[in-house]
Amino acid sequence: MKSFFRTKQLLSLFICLVIVSSLAIVKHGELLGHSFRSEQKPQAANNDTLRILGNGTAVINTSALASDITGYGGKVPLNIVIKNGVVENIVALKNDETKEFFDNASALFEKWKGRTIDEAMNMKVDAVTGATFSSKAIIGNMQRGLLYAKNNLQTDESVKGNSSWGSSDNSGSSLFSLRNITGICVVLMAAILPLFVKNRRYHFCQLILNVIVLGFWCGTCLSYSSLLGFAAHGMEISGNIIATVMLITAFIYPLFGKKSHYCTHVCPYGSLQQIAGRGIKYKIRMSPLAIKRLDKVRKLIWALLMVCIWGGVWSEWTDYEPFSAFIFRSASWIVIATALLFIALSFVITRPYCRFVCPMGTLIKLRY
């Protein structure tokens, strides 16, 4: 019996991997960084790393230099315009980032403009609150492009070697930032302690930490947008420890009988619904038949959304999941309104979005 259960769980995990992989290929044209779009090859001539214009201005394209650096939705290539050793302009090339997030993060461009290559390399630039993933991708692209400029452009600046590159690497500093360390501690608490501590008060405190730290401060939730981005472009675990722990609780824990651990103990939006549910004792009573029908509706919604991506009809729906409402400075009003609507419903209906709508939750439920 136990072997049958384990085989069933492994099979469901394999099915989830196949679904996510196929969606990533259709939406992004990549799987773990390997491109499946043959039409991109003729455009390679437009992606030369270095172009020198007639007036001596250098244009550095980071598409190849930072091909391993991804934001929330994928790669974030830049054109860095350098004239007389000074960063004159920065132009974002085509990317799959959510527009609201990227527009917010692109404010970072102004920090580098007017700086010499050495000055720009030595700057410590922090991610924009509310657009962390896009910001980190922009910073990473700038660092790679500036290093390339340092080594390949002749300027009047003294060459100091590459030691400044390591000291100014944002990925290292962000890994040990107070926000990241706190987020890692909270997500590990959510992943481990509920396995041993069965206390209602502790659970409520953990829910609050999930909302404040993982949600509003770190802006990290499992969503289709992030999941497909990881599948398409790969994932640097050392820089995404919080998301890695979330993935383990969502897709690996069910192998050991912990079916809904992520949704119940980790997910910030699920936590916020649970907190709201404790605000009012009165709850709308739904019959088992109504719950069963709503569950079928949830599965139907999920199937239709999957078809939208596979069919290339409306893959942009992944930008409207309510999880991104935690990053409220960048989230669209539609996302914020949707998130607030389901939180309001949570006062009288137990976790309505989780139980009757959530596409991410439906995918996770394929694991059990």
pLDDT at residue 297 tops 90: yes
Q: Taking 60 as the threshold, does the pLDDT of residue 133 lie above it?
A: yes
The residue type of 264 is T
State the pLDDT at residue 38: 57
Does residue 42 have a pLDDT over 60? no
The reported pLDDT for the residue numbered 7 is 84
Asked whether the predicted pLDDT for residue 162 surpasses 80, the reply is no
Give span(s): CATH 3.90.1010.10, the chain: 50-153
At 73-128, the pLDDT tens digits run 778 999 999 988 899 999 999 888 888 788 888 889 999 999 999 899 888 888 88
Any idea which of 136-145, 151-160, 221-230, 248-257 has the lowest mean pLDDT? 151-160
The per-residue pLDDT for 156 is: 44
Three-class secondary structure assignment of the chain: CHHHHHHHHHHHHHHHHHHHHHHHHHHHCEECCEECCHHHHHHHHHHCCEEECCCCCEEEECCCCCCCCECCCCECCEEEEEECCEEEEEEECCCCCCHHHHHHHHHHHHHHCCCEHHHHHHCCCCCCCCCHHHHHHHHHHHHHHHHHHHHHCCCCCCCCCCHHHHHCCHHHHHHCCHHHHHHHHHHHHHHHHHHCCCCHHHHHHHHHHHHHHHHHHCCCCCCHHHHHHHHHHCCCHHHCHHHHHHHHHHHHHHHHCCCCHHHHHHCHHHHHHHHHHCCCCCCCCCCHHHHHHHHHHHHHHHHHHHHHHHCCCCHHHHHHCHHHHHCCCCCCHHHHHHHHHHHHHHCCCCCHHHHHCCHHHHHHHCCC
> 152: Cβ–Cβ under 8 A, 6 or more apart, which residues?
50
Determine the pLDDT at residue 73: 74
How many C-beta neighbours within 10 Å does residue 198 have? 8
Statement: residue 165 has pLDDT above 60:
no
Q: What pLDDT is recorded for position 167?
A: 33
pLDDT at 55: 81
For residues 328 and 248, the model is more confident at: 248
Q: Is the pLDDT of residue 47 over 80?
A: no
Identify which of 28-37, 73-82, 133-142, 204-213 has the greatest average pLDDT: 204-213
Average of per-residue pLDDT across 173-184: 80
- pLDDT value of residue 287: 93
What percentage of the chain has pLDDT greater than the value 90?
48
Supply the pLDDT for residue 166.
Answer: 34
Q: Which of 8-17, 91-100, 184-193, 273-282 has maximum average pLDDT? A: 184-193
Residue 83 forms beta bridges with which residues?
Answer: 86
pTM: 0.72
Q: What is the mean pLDDT of the chain?
A: 85
pLDDT recorded at residue 1:
65
- Mean pLDDT is lowest, of 26-35, 211-220, 347-356, for 26-35
What does R_g of the chain's alpha carbons equal in angstroms? Answer: 23
CATH of domain 50-153: 3.90.1010.10
Residue 158, pLDDT above cutoff 50: no
How would residue 64 be classed by pLDDT, with cut points 50, 70 and 90?
confident
d(CA 227, CA 48): 30
Give the per-residue pLDDT at 45.
36
Residue 45, class by beta-carbon neighbours within 10 Å (0-12 exposed, 13-18 middle, 19+ buried)?
A: exposed
Question: What's the pLDDT at 39?
Answer: 47
Parallel, antiparallel, or unpaired: how do β-strands 78-83 and 58-61 relate? antiparallel
What tens digit of pLDDT does each residue of 312-349 get?
888 888 888 999 888 777 677 899 999 999 999 999 99
Q: Model confidence over 12-34: pLDDT tens digits?
A: 999 999 999 999 899 888 888 78
Nearest to 130 by CA among 65, 179, 190, 168: 179
Q: Work out the burial of residue 163: count CB atoms within 10 Å of its CB; fewer than 13 is exposed, 13-18 middle, 19 or more buried.
A: exposed
